[in-house]
Amino acid sequence: MIYIHIPFCKQKCSYCNFHFSTSLQSKDEVLSAIKKELFLRKDELHNTTLQSLYFGGGTPSILSGDEINSIVDEVLKYYSFEKDVEITLEANPDDLDKTFLRDLSKSPVNRLSIGTQSFFDDDLRLMNRAHNASQAEDSIKRAQDFGFENLSIDLIYGSPTSNLEIWKENLNKTIALDVPHISSYALTVEPKTALNDWILKGKVATPKEEEQNREFYYLSDFLKDNGFDHYEVSNFAKPGFYSRHNSSYWKYKEYLGLGPSAHSYNGADVRSWNVANNQLYVKKLNSNSLAKETEILSQEDQFNEMIMIGLRTIWGVDLDKLKNKFSPEIVEKFDQEIKEKIADGILVIENNHLKIPEKHWFMADGIASDLFLI
Exposed / middle / buried, residue 109 (Cβ in 10 Å: 0-12, 13-18, 19+): buried
Exposed / middle / buried, residue 67 (Cβ in 10 Å: 0-12, 13-18, 19+): middle
How many whole angstroms separate alpha carbon 221 and alpha carbon 357? 14
List, in order, residues 6 or more apart from 197 with CB less than 8 Å away: none
Annotated domain spans of the chain:
2-250, 299-369
| Fold that domain 299-369 belongs to in CATH | Arc Repressor Mutant, subunit A (1.10.10)
Block means of pLDDT (10 residues each) for the chain, 374 residues, are: 92 74 85 97 93 94 95 97 96 95 95 96 90 95 97 95 95 97 92 88 89 94 97 96 92 94 93 95 96 94 94 96 94 94 96 95 93 89
Asked whether 260 and 279 are in contact (CB, 8 A), the reply is no
pLDDT of residue 9: 83
**Assigned superfamily of 2-250:** Aldolase class I (3.20.20.70)
pLDDT of residue 252: 85
pTM, rounded to two decimals: 0.93
